[in-house]
Every structure is written in structure tokens, then in C-alpha cells.
Structure 1
């Protein structure tokens, strides 16, 4: 006879009772456990474990995609084609190790949640009494007498020793890990030692990175808080329940693992919101030219550098919160250990405050050193300024001003050998870089805009092997850079951005072969360059911008970069019309290939059939087809210039702006204007309604403004 499942359940009260009893039992042991711990403590532990595991997962994402993560959080995907932050991934070995450790930490926190919420309590076993399963195992282990019958006589002592060792290890293990174990608290205190060591190393790393002093003092205070908790627990709460020890440890670990990194991230994100707001608005009004839309040049360099430092400190964060345990010392030893933690906690704060004060005094003579490491050696006579970031910019110089010579200052700050960032805008460097910069082998960012530097020394290739960002920009009216070493990029394996522009007399560029990390190349207004250098294998290449290269008739082959290339910007370059893109047919109607003599081709055209090998291959043309549809980025005739065109001389009217940004000005011939510094040059009266509308939009968005000079724009 076939019965339905529902009928069988209804006719089986014993099974129904068993299920109900299991549910009641499950609720009862949870109620007993939570009541013993305290419901508030349970909720706090669940919150701590959940936040810590979620933060560890976030750190994994940040390690995998640092730039994309920063772009997503701050909505900066549109700035510099997604390369605004220039956050480079760590080495694969470091990345794999970090992610593996973070996954272990996540697993530990989930296991703790499982133990707290899911796993029922085990039955207590009285001392000397083994569990049934253990008794079965022990029965299977042959005794010494039985073993004597089975083995030879010389094996008996070995078995006795092994059996004794096994019992000692098992007993010691139970005395350490069990809730009422004899040595649990001893182990708990001992595990504070590696935690303290890691905290000290982390603080030193933060100080060496030049983390913001307020964050350093905060971290030192947290270290002191951890030490005071340990001191209080050893001296006054030694016999406290184990669960309360674990809870306090969990809170302290969460402070280091979640609260402080979250504070660092918050400070980083809020550092220069005003600048980000400004550059986002400028993107809407600036002309569609790659070199004028470089958002990275317009934000506060100090805040950008501090963000990079803070953000990278998260990526290399030590996993201190993975350490847990503590338990039992004698009274006299407890007092000594407790006193040690008390002195250690006070020492953390004192050392940090003194180091910050001493380092600030050492660098007080260099206000342009916006970031420096914090060091203090007790007994040392003087602390040298360990400058990490030297930033000296004048973004709005008056036309009549002479550039300030900073060669000597740069040489003095470089003598410590710790510079990682150098950014000079509208400052003068005499001829070549100072020789003391050779000692700065950790230099990562070098930005020189309108500095007049003419020669790069031969030692730059080896000394700047860790360089990641290189931006050398001259002024349109000066000679500026005239020579670069042919092997400049040979050792720069980590270089990811190259920007060279406005160097009219630079004859050639160094080869770029082997730059595995290179992502962005900007080359513009290099009047003497006749051909681009060898590129070779550039597996990470994503953005290429070429503009104002009046003698370059051929572009490099890009078929090997098809998978990685995201943007190829070409404007005002003869390669657009020389025949390179059109099977050798020169387009003389295009401005870059214009000619006065219709009987002969201009020198910017390819000569057929002699230069047939220079024509782009079908594979290269296929890649270019993805970019030619947007003429604002690729070969726009409106943005090209004819080399033979006569320039029209204009009567120079008096500039009433006199170096004041956004001052109202006007011209009888061109109408209203605004004081502005195009290309970070001198402030002049620029007659552009787009610039006026741009500044009005910035003021409406809440950006800071001058109530006197910008009242006409709506600043109140």
C-alpha cells in the first residue's frame, strides 16, 4: 500500500517529537551560551568579526586593482583616461602572498562566527577521563607487553618514549587551548610579543613613508591603548573569564585591522575633494586636446602625494589582527610583564611625538618639502631632513616675473638620498640636474614643467631605476631640453608614464624597448624629432598621445598592442597626411602637408616607391580604425597647422591682468576676457567665453574663490 509523505509524517509522532526536541535543544544551548557571554557582547563580537572579514575582502580587491578601485570610489574614471591615480600593482609574489594571508584571515573570522553561532558546545570530560572515541583509539594502540610479543625487544624503549611524548604533547596542548587550561594565559601573554613587534615595525614603516603626523600619533595612541589593555588585564583582570579576554582582544584587533585603515582611507579620500571637483568641471570646458586635459597636473601636488602614500599603506598593511590568545603567570612575574606593557605604551606615544617634532624642525628651512620621513635617534646631535617629496609650483606666474632658481635647494634636499617625488613648475634649474640627485635611487616621480633644464646626466638611467612617472615639459618660447641619454630608459623597468613636450631642439628620443610596465606615452611639440624611437615589446601599453610633431611622417606599428591599447591620440602630425595611412597617397590638402609649389610634393610626404616600406601594414590600419572614427582624437584637420603658413602679427595691447588669475579683462578688438594661465604659463588675458563659463561653474559647485577679483563671476 502506497502512502503519501504527508500521511507518513502525520502517523509518525516519535519522529516529529525528535525534530521538535532538536530544535528546542538548539535554541536552549544558544540561549545558555549567549546568556553566559552576554547578549550585548555577542552582538559586538558578531559585528567585529563581520566587519573584519568584510574589510579583509576589501583589501583583497584593493590589492588586485588599486587604480580601478580608487577610480570607482572617487568617480575619476573620466580623468586622464582612467590613469589619474597611477597606482601601480605590487609584484606578483607580494600580491599572491598578501592575498593568501588575507584569505586566511577571512577564513579565521568566519570560523569564529561558526564557533559562536552554529557549533553546539561539547560535553565536558573530567580530568583523567577520555572520550569514547579516544578510548577506542587507545585500545587499538598496543601496550608495551603486547608490543613485546609483536616486535623485537630493542623496540620497547622507543615505543615507551614515543607514547610518553605523545601524552605530554596532548596534555600541554589541552592546558594551552582549553578554556580552563593551566597555561592558557601564559600563551596569551606570549602571543602579545609578536603582535608588539609587528606594531613597532608597522609604525616605523609608516614614519618612513611620511604618513600624516596626525595619523602617526593616532596609530601610536592605538599601540598605547593595546599595551594598556594588556597591562590592565595582567594586573587587575587575571582571573577574568576567557571569553572576556577574547572579546577584548577582538576589539583591539578590530581597531588595528578595521578602524585605523578605514581612518586612513577616509583621510585620503577627503584630502582634496575640492581639487577633484575643479578638474572634473574643467574636463567639460577644456578643448579636446590631450595635453591641456591632463588632470593630474592641476590638482594639489601635496595632497595627491599624501593620497598615494596613504592608499599604498593600505595595500601593504600588516595583518596584525590575525593574532589571538593569552593566559597564566605567577604574581611576581605578572607585575614585571604588566609594567613592561605600561612602559611600552607610554614609550610609543613619546617616541612618535618627539620624532615628529624633531623631523619638522629639521625640515622647517624647506617649506617646499611637503612630505618627509619621521626619525629620531636618542643621543644623536642633529636630525637631517629626510625629504620624500619636494614640490615647488607657481601655477599662475606674472609675465614679468623671473623664474626662481631652485637648483641649490634641490641639491641640498637630494643629499639625504630619500627623495621619492620631485615636482617643479615654473621654477628654474641651471642646465642639468644636480649631481646629489644621483643618490636618490628611490625616486619614483619626476615632474619638471617650465624649468629650463637642458641636459639629463648620464647617470640618470642607473640612479632612477625605480622611476615610475616622468614628465618633462618645456616652454614654447625657450630651448629647454636639448639632450637625453640614449640609454635613459634601459633600467627603468617600473616606468609606467612618459610625458615629453615643448622641447623644440631635442634631436632624438631614447629607445623604449623593454619597458614592461609602460602604460602611457605623451609626446608633443618636439619640432626637431624626425622619427619616433623603437618601441619593441610594451605589453602594458594603454594610452598613446602624439601631437605637434611637424617632422614625423610615420607612426610606429601598433598591431602587437591591439589587446592592451585603449587610446591612440594623433593630432597636428604629418603622419596623418604623408601617405602612411593611405597606401602612399599624400594628401596635400591637409594642413600638415601643405605646399606653396603645386609642382612638387612637400617634404612631409612619403616618396614613392622609395619609401614604400614605411606604409602602415594592414594589421596596423585595423588597430587604427578603432580610433579614426573620433576625429577630435585622430587626425583632425581643424587642429593641424601648415608649416608654410604666415603668422599674422597682432598689436600687443596692455594686459590688465598682471598675473592675477580670473581677473576680469577686456579688449576693444576681441571683447571680454579672463585672466588665465594656459598650459601653466604666465597669466594673461584670454578672450574665451568657455573659460569664463568654466570658472562660473567651478564657483557654483562650491570651489574656493577670491571675493574681490571674482565678484564678476558670482563669487560671494
Structure 2
């Protein structure tokens, strides 16, 4: 080392100029610095051809290269171009230096956790698409509700199921590959030691230059190699590459916009819509902002920001939907448990839907369904954001393991047109969502029966009642207080027509409302999925009803005074999505339509068919899980149970069916109570089955033997089942539930709204026992000591 004032040390042609500099500089510094020592005489692009020097010219050449008697001073290389080159080499060297080992480990652990979360979420989505009812039951803790068929999700078509599983599996494999890449030992770029730098071919060539006429050629090659290195580094941050990344960003925002529109059209809760909108708008604004940030390593920041927003879209928002469903599902489990404890199997009160809030359940069902891939467009939108997230994660892992690959920037710097595009997009997106929410809410304000409406930008018309994009109409009176309300309920025909005009209705639930005929406007609602008509005075369905091919849930409950009489013969022919059927109170109906086409039916309930003597074949009900047949007193045979034996989880055949004792199961026993005159319905006594009639098949017998407690028992007697309300039974109650009343028979009686009928005096002991248990355990509605002291209320 030279001390202060020491004369500059003279070095030979091939010696190191500065040992300390050589020790501290990187190989890139060495290449770039040595390339800067030769100042070109002309400003030409590309490598300069150097004519070899002759022996006579060599001293002159050495004098030009080593001015001042052959001594080289570091400060002599102080021209502007050399200084700029050294600054460039220093910045490049700093960028190429690997991260400290401790920080790299922490980053890898952090991102490994992120990738694991993405992988677990993807696996859960695969389960949700392949076994939706099982998966949702596990998450929502509803396995015991209605024997596991409470949610009744429709199994996807084989094509869509295959598409979803393959796409999500590829995404999962990609996450696994990223984890493997993180765990595997990366190839690190190791700088050479000082000693190795001395003995490198490039240094040896420099040492031998003073002894060989070919040294100039070797030097030219080094200059050319340095130029090629700089060009390669410049290509990594080329404008074309940045523009391509910008195009990918625009495509990413396009996929996210499609998902946002689907959320708006599905009528998702306002908090979810707001959060999703803020994330997408922030994503666009963040991209515009980072283009103008004066940071040297802005590329890493841009990558991290993009990764954050992709994580929020792909994993964060769907998880938020799941958390919302879990937090808002307030099912009265204690009340449901008492109902199961008190009422016999198959009774109305044992159904989970009886105690669940229908609007809440419908919203949660739609929210959970939105997490599934339900269409081809949905598939491409989901896979698009999944692919973007995978590429971001892989790129970031590469940067952690190979910091020298980091680019200066991902997107073009200070590109005003692109930034303005993103800002305008964010503003338009916020305006679009705000107007969609605002105008649709105003359009639906006159219709409180509309429980859920699409968040759609609506052109408002003054005093119009047909502009609401309603998705769910729920209008129920589950406890009419007077006989007039029971017999003459509110007419909702016009209301249904108004809400169906736009063709958006997907759910219609009416209880104790007057709808004798389905309005023609309902025909426009081709996406109708849920229809519940309880005590609506409807007696038939129009022929165009078979056009509701997307129907999933059908619940029809008749009044005894105005029951359903007939259904179209081929009504179910194209209803492959139908999963739930509940028909009750069809007293005079003698024949049911064919079940052909019901390939996804999971729950079938048939109750109070007093004139029905035969059931349609079960040949297409391969996925049936729950079968309930009760109060069908003249049914003398059953269809073959072979098609349903694999998936059936609950079989309940209660009250009288003459098949129990007329020889269908083997021996004819007319002395059996089931074959006597029915004590409640007055049905005539049964006769033995004719010899030419088909008997029970082995599969039918095996399935019946599997459920002995639910088969051929529970014969109904007077007082054990509530009949239709009358003025004599409703007047003593005066519209008050659980009030003690006096029955003409002298039995203990209570005012009760059995099966959502009017509040009437009821001698059935099960509701009385249920209410006593509720009061004793503090479950259900708060008790009123004025009316319920006799039940234990204090």
C-alpha cells in the first residue's frame, strides 16, 4: 500500500494495477473497468478492429497507453465516459450481490407459508367442486341436518367437473413445484477469490500482452465480451419486455373485472362487493403509482405489490366469503335438537328448514355456491387469476434465490399513457360499482319482498314497479292469527308478475299467500332454481313450467280446501338439476308424473296423498339420499328400490300403507292394524294383493329391513295430527302462540301453528312437550308468563 506523498508505483504491462481494488471488485467490475481503459478514437457502434502493432511501433504504443514514463495512475482514467461506466458497474455489482443468508432464509420461510396457504385453499376448492354437500357440511357443521342433505348443492355435469378438477389440480401441482424449488438447493453465483482472479484466463492474457504481438487482439476480445454482457443485461429490462408485462397486467385486471361482475350479478352482500372493488381499484392505482416512484430497485417493489393483490383476489376474497358465511349462519341448533328429541321421525318439525331463517340460508347458499366453478366462463376467469398468481410466486422465489436476476423495473418507467389508463380504469370501476349498487337499491325499494337483488346499473324510471333486478322473492306468513287471514291471504299475483318482468328471479318462496295461477311473467325467469308454494291456493302448474330446466328445489304444500289436482305428465323430463321435491296435501291426486329426468334428485317427500295407489318407478333416482312417504293410505305396492340402494341414507315410510300387510312383503295379514279401516282418514280396509301383482324385490326387502324403526309404524289416530284450522279452533287462541286452550274432547291443548298453518287449538302432545323443553332450557322464543305459566314460564 502506498503511503501519503509516495510516488506512484510503476507497473509492468501485465501486472495488476491495484491489488486492493482487485480484491474488492467483482468480476463484472474488472471486465467493465478494463474495457473503459481504451478510449475509442471515433464514436462508432460495435467493436473496434485494432491493427496489430509492429515491433518498431510498440514503444510508441506503450507510451500512449502508459503516459508519464509508463506509470498508470487511477486518477488518470477520469474522463466522463469512464466515470459513468464505473458507476454503472458499481450499481450492477451491488444488484448482483446475493442477499444475506439470514434474510434469505426468512423470506423463503415467509413465502413458503404463503404457497402452503394457496395449496391448501386449492385442495379445498377441489373438494368443494367434487363433493359440495359433504365439504360444506363439514365446514358449516351441518352433517346431521336432514341426514346430510340440508344444503342440496347440485352435482356439476361430468364435463364441468372434469374441467374444474383438472384446472385446479394443475394449479395445485404448480404450487407444489414452487415448494420443491424453494426446498431444493439453488445454484448460487459465487464470486472468485482474489487469487483465482489473478490466475484467470483474462488476467493471464493481460500479463502476456507485453510479451506477445497478439495482445491487442486479446484485449479486443475482452472489450467485445464486456459489450455483449452489457447488451444482455440491457435486454433483460428491455422496453418490449416491460410492455409485455404491462399487457399481462391489463389481462389480470380483465379477469378480476369478470369476477367482480359475477359477484355483482349474484347479489353478494355489500361488504364483500365493497372489499372486492377496493382491492381491484387499488391494484390498478398501485401499478400506476409504482411507474413514477424514484426507487433504484422498483422492480422488486412492483413484483411484491402485484403478488399481494393476486393473493387477495385468488385466496383472500374467497376466504372472506367463507368467513362471512360462517359468521352469519345463526342456526338455532338447540331448538332443532329439541325437535328431534320430541317429534317422531319424518315429522314436519324435524326438518332443518323449518327452524332455519330462509332468507339467511338462501344468501349463504348463493355465497357458498359462488366459490364453485359453475360455468365455462367461470372456469377461465378462475384459472386466469390462478395462473397469474402462480407466475408471480415463481418469479419472486427466483428473485429470492437468484438476486442477480432482479430487473430494474417490471413495467415501463414514467409511461404517462399507461398510468392514465390505470387511473381512469380505477375511477370508472368505482363509479360503475357505486351506481350499480345505488340504482338497483332504489329500483327495489318498493318491493320489500325482494330479499336479494342483483347489483346492476339500472336506468331508473319514475313510478315504475318492474325495474327491480330481483333474484329472491321471499314473502311468508308462518302463523296467520285469524281465520280470515288463513282463508283469504294477501294476493301476491301482481307482485310476482312485477318482480318477474325482468326475468331475473331465481328464488320464489311464498307461504300463506294467494297465488291461484302462476303469472305468465314468471315464464321469463329461465334461471329459476327455487320454488316454494305453501298454502297459496295453487291447484295446478302451467304446461310451460317444464321449461324451468335449472330448477333445483321444488316445495309444494296444498290446503285441504284447495289442493293440487294434477301436474303435467312430463314436467320432470328435463329437470336434471332438481335435487329436492316436497309434495304434501295433494289429497285428491291419483297419479304422479314420471320421475324420468330426475338424475340428481337427493330428497323426495310425499305426504297426505289419500287417493294415490302407486308410485312412479325409481329407475332414474340413482342419487336419492332421503325418501319420506307418509299418509298415503291406499298405496298397495312400492317401486323397486334397487336403483336407490347405493346412496340412500334415510328411509321413512310411516302411517298406513296397505303394502305393509297385503302380501307385498311376503305374507298377507289383513288383521294387521295397517290393513284395517284407517282411524283418522277413514280409508276402507285393505285386501290381499292379487297373485299376478309384483311382489317386493330382494333389494327392496333388504333396504326395508335396514330401517325397521321407520317402516310400517306410526299409525295416525284422531288428535295425533293437526287438521286444517277452523273458526272453532282459531278463535280461542286470538292469534297468541303457546296459549292454553280448551278442546271439546277434554285433552290438554295448546295454540300452535302446525306446519305453518293458522294459530289454532291443537291437541297434539308433541308441540306441548316441545315448548315445555324450550322454556326449561331457555331455548327458542322468550316465554310470556301471562300465557305460558302453565308450561313452566316464570
Q: Match of 2:74?
A: none
Per-residue Cα deviation, 1:331-366 (whole angstroms, up to 9, x for no partner): 55x222122222222322221121111001111111
Match of 1:396 among 468, 479, 487: 479
1:495 aligns with 2:578: yes
Q: Match of 1:87?
A: 153
Question: d(CA) in 2 for partners of 1:62 and 1:299?
Answer: 23
Q: Match of 1:10?
A: none
Matches within 5 A, 1:695-710: 695=771, 698=774, 700=777, 705=782
Question: d(CA) in 1 for partners of 2:460 and 2:293?
Answer: 36
Number of aligned positions between the proteins: 623
Question: d(CA) in 2 for partners of 1:654 and 1:468?
Answer: 36
Match of 1:436 among 506, 518, 521: 521
SS of 1:191's equivalent in the other structure is helix
Question: d(CA) in 1 for partners of 2:168 and 2:599?
Answer: 28
Q: Match of 1:101?
A: 167
Stretch moving more, 401-410 or 273-282: 273-282
Give 1:193 shift.
Answer: 1.1
Give 1:90 shift.
Answer: 1.8
Is the Cα contact below 8 Å between 1:514 and 1:536 reproduced in 2?
Answer: no
Q: Match of 1:365?
A: 446
Per-residue Cα deviation, 1:31-68 (whole angstroms, up to 9, x for no partner): 95465967765554333222122111111111111111
Q: Match of 1:147?
A: none
Stretch moving more, 564-573 or 509-518: 564-573
Per-residue Cα deviation, 1:435-491 (whole angstroms, up to 9, x for no partner): 111111111111111111011111111x2111111110112x313211211111112
SS of 1:51's equivalent in the other structure is helix
The change in CA–CA distance for 1:282 and 1:228 in structure 2 (over 3 A counts) is farther
1:190 aligns with 2:247: yes
Is the Cα contact below 8 Å between 1:539 and 1:564 reproduced in 2?
Answer: yes
Is the Cα contact below 8 Å between 1:48 and 1:250 reproduced in 2?
Answer: no
The change in CA–CA distance for 1:173 and 1:459 in structure 2 (over 3 A counts) is farther
Per-residue Cα deviation, 1:230-275 (whole angstroms, up to 9, x for no partner): 1222221674254433322222111112221111111112223244
1:406 aligns with 2:492: yes
Give 1:653 shift.
Answer: 7.2
Q: Match of 2:544?
A: 459
Match of 1:207 among 241, 264, 275: 264
Question: d(CA) in 1 for partners of 2:614 and 2:333?
Answer: 37
1:231 aligns with 2:231: no
Q: Match of 2:687?
A: 605
Per-residue Cα deviation, 1:361-393 (whole angstroms, up to 9, x for no partner): 111111111111121167999892111111111
Q: Match of 2:633?
A: 550
Stretch moving more, 49-58 or 569-578: 569-578
The change in CA–CA distance for 1:507 and 1:651 in structure 2 (over 3 A counts) is closer
Question: d(CA) in 1 for partners of 2:173 and 2:344?
Answer: 51
Q: Match of 1:298?
A: 355
The change in CA–CA distance for 1:240 and 1:287 in structure 2 (over 3 A counts) is same
The change in CA–CA distance for 1:460 and 1:357 in structure 2 (over 3 A counts) is same
Is the Cα contact below 8 Å between 1:572 and 1:641 reproduced in 2?
Answer: no
Q: Match of 1:347?
A: 428
Question: d(CA) in 1 for partners of 2:571 and 2:232?
Answer: 60
Give 1:291 shift.
Answer: 3.7
Is the Cα contact below 8 Å between 1:553 and 1:606 reproduced in 2?
Answer: no
Q: Match of 2:128?
A: 62
CA root-mean-square deviation:
3.6
Is the Cα contact below 8 Å between 2:661 and 2:667 reproduced in 1?
Answer: yes
Q: Match of 1:419?
A: 505
Is the Cα contact below 8 Å between 2:589 and 2:611 reproduced in 1?
Answer: yes
SS of 2:551's equivalent in the other structure is coil
SS of 1:471's equivalent in the other structure is strand
The change in CA–CA distance for 1:492 and 1:706 in structure 2 (over 3 A counts) is same
Question: d(CA) in 2 for partners of 1:498 and 1:253?
Answer: 42
1:472 aligns with 2:556: yes
Is the Cα contact below 8 Å between 1:396 and 1:680 reproduced in 2?
Answer: yes
SS of 2:555's equivalent in the other structure is strand
Question: d(CA) in 2 for partners of 1:188 and 1:706?
Answer: 66
1:620 aligns with 2:695: no
Is the Cα contact below 8 Å between 1:217 and 1:353 reproduced in 2?
Answer: no
Is the Cα contact below 8 Å between 2:590 and 2:612 reproduced in 1?
Answer: yes
The change in CA–CA distance for 1:595 and 1:322 in structure 2 (over 3 A counts) is closer
Question: d(CA) in 2 for partners of 1:172 and 1:455?
Answer: 80
SS of 1:614's equivalent in the other structure is coil
1:322 aligns with 2:387: yes
Is the Cα contact below 8 Å between 1:553 and 1:580 reproduced in 2?
Answer: no
Per-residue Cα deviation, 1:578-613 (whole angstroms, up to 9, x for no partner): 4243435133331443499xxxx965223443xx32
Is the Cα contact below 8 Å between 1:511 and 1:535 reproduced in 2?
Answer: no
Give 1:549 shift.
Answer: 0.8
Stretch moving more, 618-627 or 247-256: 618-627
Stretch moving more, 184-193 or 517-526: 184-193
Is the Cα contact below 8 Å between 2:737 and 2:752 reproduced in 1?
Answer: yes
Higher-Rg member (1/2): 2
Give 1:681 shift.
Answer: 0.8
Is the Cα contact below 8 Å between 1:504 and 1:528 reproduced in 2?
Answer: yes
The change in CA–CA distance for 1:313 and 1:604 in structure 2 (over 3 A counts) is same
Give 1:495 shift.
Answer: 1.4
Is the Cα contact below 8 Å between 1:664 and 1:674 reproduced in 2?
Answer: yes
Question: d(CA) in 1 for partners of 2:509 and 2:482?
Answer: 21
Is the Cα contact below 8 Å between 2:749 and 2:763 reproduced in 1?
Answer: yes
Unaligned runs of at least 5 residues, structure 1 = 1-30, 127-170
Give 1:290 shift.
Answer: 4.1
Unaligned runs of at least 5 residues, structure 2 = 1-96, 193-229, 393-406
Is the Cα contact below 8 Å between 1:456 and 1:484 reproduced in 2?
Answer: yes
Question: d(CA) in 2 for partners of 1:587 and 1:72?
Answer: 47
The change in CA–CA distance for 1:545 and 1:666 in structure 2 (over 3 A counts) is same
Per-residue Cα deviation, 1:76-132 (whole angstroms, up to 9, x for no partner): 222211111011122222222222222222233333334445332443899xxxxxx
Matches within 5 A, 1:145-160: none
Q: Match of 1:659?
A: 735
Question: d(CA) in 1 for partners of 2:727 and 2:579?
Answer: 44
The change in CA–CA distance for 1:576 and 1:112 in structure 2 (over 3 A counts) is same
The change in CA–CA distance for 1:194 and 1:362 in structure 2 (over 3 A counts) is same
Matches within 5 A, 1:550-589: 550-583=633-666, 585-589=668-672
Is the Cα contact below 8 Å between 1:584 and 1:608 reproduced in 2?
Answer: no
Q: Match of 1:481?
A: 564
Match of 2:531 among 440, 443, 446: 446
Question: d(CA) in 2 for partners of 1:602 and 1:615?
Answer: 22
